[in-house]
Amino acid sequence: MNYLVTGVKGQLGHDVVNELSKRGHSYVGVDIEEMDITDEAKVREVMLPLDIDGVIHCAAYTAVDAAEDNVELCRKINALGTKYIAKVCKEKDIKMMYISTDYVFDGTGERPWDPDDKRDPLNVYGQTKYEGELAVEEYLDKYFTVRIAWVFGVNGNNFIKTMLKLSETRDELNVVDDQIGSPTYTYDLARLIVDMTLSEKYGRYHATNQGGYISWYDFAKEIFKQAGVDIKVNPVTSEMFPAKAKRPHNSRMEQKKLVENGFELLPTWQDALSRYLEIL
């Protein structure tokens, strides 16, 4: 199989192309320099001549707080860029994998979000990713929308790296305990993504690591425990960390649809964390 992968410099794109290589699939990897997805003419110029079976679209504007001040840019990348790619996929009659987020929901309640639950984003980032989902659904039948949460990978910044960095200069940290979800290791996710794109089991899915739902506070404690860092971690509410963009309190994701369609669930986040810290 031959794929176009966008956002190859990001945490997920980096792992997706590694996984494709490992399995002997060919790919064309692009980032903004090779294909500015906000420019429809450029998207067509790059994509139309390619002999590809599908697109794995990892590129996104993910700076959640900055998005509140950069609405137009965020929309150009997450919504319009996705639409331009979807249109060419339709023209070429190829499949598309769109990576989305739990932020398309309103983040309330305690029940895990089902892939077909009503979407009601609570900030600009979530709204533009929702618009990206709608674009994919408008143009394509052969699509996968995979929503993820609390992402960490080797390439780029994430919560784990931030916690370890802060622990170098502090002996005490406050971490929120009223936002609940589960982490997603891009290395594990990349394997699932490739499995999915080799299938024709299209639709919306949720994919995070198994191992139970936790708060950021729980996650921080386990990071320091596994890393052997002696630091005091205090649980606090989200009000202690006022941010420009609202954050979801409920990021629990229902994943039974993966099992129903014969896909393997991701390993536990505790195991993923252990493997990740070894690489770091």
Q: Which of 125, 143, 185, 187 is catalytic?
A: 125
125 in active site:
yes
CB 195 within 8 Å of CB 264: yes
CB-based contacts of 115-118 (< 8 A; 24+ apart in sequence)? 115/145, 115/147, 115/203, 115/204, 115/205, 115/206, 115/254, 115/257, 116/204
Q: Which residues are catalytic?
A: 125
